[in-house]
Amino acid sequence: MKSIQQALSLPAFQSRNYRLFFLGQGLSLVGTWITMVAMIWLVYHLTQSPILLGIVGFVSQVPNLVLVPFGGVLSDRWNHQHTLIVTQALSMLQSFALAILTLTGTVHIWHIIVLSLFQGIVNAIDAPTRQAFVPEIIERKENLINAIALNSSLFNGARLIGPAIGGILLGQAIAF
């Protein structure tokens, strides 16, 4: 119980809106990494091709390289909260589309490539918007540095936890 109280005593968590954002962002990031593990396994299961694995990875990341600066400009012109709601809804739709295609047995590699590109484009707008949104929800500006550090920790923590959960879920699904 004491560790929970200590965690909540972090300066950024004094802002209720930041606490809610942190929790939601954590769930979203873990879900994103679970989806990535599933997608990688699915590509290899369908094709046994390391080249197609690379293509799917490239297609999902190239929008970040090319579009993030434009995503930042768009993010600055739009309401950050509404933009995040839209990008998160689009990410959820991408995951649902992948799940439906897979569960119905109609998935093909081109579906995965298109969905990866779509997710990359969504992420190119979502990432700068998340960073711009944090200063808006921190009530005390002296807590902003702590919030930024927590966001970095959360992202890296999700990169560890998400694939682990994805691997466990995938193992259970294969065994089933």
Secondary structure of 60-71 in HEC code, one letter for each residue: HHHHHHHHHHHH
Q: Please, which pLDDT band fits residue 174 given cuts at 50, 70 and 90?
A: confident
Q: In angstroms, how far is CA 21 from the centroid of its own chain?
A: 13
- Look at residue 91 in the predicted model and tell me its pLDDT: 94
Q: Which of 70, 74, 114 is nearest to 94 (CA)?
A: 114
pLDDT tens by residue, 9-43: 789 999 999 999 999 999 999 999 999 999 999 99
pLDDT tens by residue, 57-68: 999 999 989 998
Q: Residue holding tokens 């699915």?
A: 42
Q: Please, which pLDDT band fits residue 7 given cuts at 50, 70 and 90?
A: low
First to last CA, the chain: 37
Q: Please, which pLDDT band fits residue 165 given cuts at 50, 70 and 90?
A: very high
In sequence order, what are the residues at sequence separation of 6 or more whose Cβ sits closer than 8 angstroms to the Cβ of residue 154?
22, 25, 26, 29
- Look at residue 75 in the predicted model and tell me its pLDDT: 87
Give me the phi and psi of 29, to 5 degrees please. -65, -40
d(C-alpha 95, C-alpha 61), whole Å: 16
- Supply 132's token pair: 């711009």
Q: Which is more confident, 4 or 144?
A: 144
- Dihedral sign (CA 70, 142, 139, 150): positive
d(C-alpha 124, C-alpha 70), whole Å: 8
Stated pTM of the model:
0.85
Q: Please, which pLDDT band fits residue 70 given cuts at 50, 70 and 90?
A: confident
